[in-house]
Amino acid sequence: MRTQYYTATTIDGRIADEDNSLAWLFEVEDRGGDDSFGDFFAGVGAIAMGATTYEWVLAEEKVLDHPEKWRGWYGDTPAWVFTHRELPRIPGADLHFVRGDVRPVHEAMAAAANGRNVWLVGGGELVGQFADQGLLDEVILGVAPVTLGAGAPVLPRRITSSRLTLTGVRQAGQFAYLTYDVRPPA
């Protein structure tokens, strides 16, 4: 089991714009017919995301009006949403709303994943908390030909090259995919 941060990013290292929108991502037309996400998600047994990411999905995709969308994307995969406030539940989705230290939640996610991987969807601050605890094993970045100039960074942490090892580089249409193994902090 690996804990993986698979995300799209801009050339200037942003995962969302100043309004926490991902609209920039869907403007990139040439994805090269790539189904790497499908291959990736086949190995996922549990999902973690922050409240901002969850709220964006709810609002942008109107998932509360169309809960079948969630199931279409994530099936029965359990998801943990880190939040400090009450958020609406998606009918039929296996959701756990949590707060606090990521370590005990990671243990629960790993148990639920049953040998499959844990996917850290985002945002970057949440993923940084997993990295701080030595719970992040891999970062997979789909770099899009976009710059935003401001917005949410991929990882708002200093993680030096001594902790990162490049293990893969490939092109899919306009995207460059970079994969890094992550070592725990010393």
Q: What is the pLDDT of residues 138-178, one digit of tens each?
A: 999 999 999 999 999 999 999 999 999 999 999 999 999 99
Q: Report the C-alpha gap between 48 and 50 in whole angstroms.
A: 7
pLDDT band at 71 (very low <50, low <70, confident <90, very high): very high
Q: Report the C-alpha gap between 3 and 66 in whole angstroms.
A: 29
Residues in CB range of 122: below 8 A, 6 or more apart = 5, 7, 15, 16, 49, 50, 53
Domain of residue 113: give its range. 3-182
Counting Cα atoms < 13 Å in the Cβ hemisphere of 97 gives: 12
Residues in CB range of 169: below 8 A, 6 or more apart = 176, 177, 178, 179
CATH number of the domain that residue 110 is part of: 3.40.430.10
pLDDT digits (tens, 9 = 90+) for 75-130: 999 999 999 999 999 999 999 999 999 999 999 999 999 999 999 998 899 999 99
pLDDT at 47 (0 to 100) = 98
Residues in CB range of 47: below 8 A, 6 or more apart = 74, 77, 78, 79, 80, 118, 119, 121
Domain count, the chain: 1
Token pair of 167, please? Answer: 């293990």
Number of helices followed by number of strands (H, E) in the chain? 6, 10
At residue 32, does pLDDT exceed 80?
no
Residues in CB range of 62: below 8 A, 6 or more apart = 69
Q: Report the C-alpha gap between 77 and 47 in whole angstroms.
A: 7
**Among candidate residues 100, 156, 120, 138, the one with its CA nearest the CA of residue 45:** 120
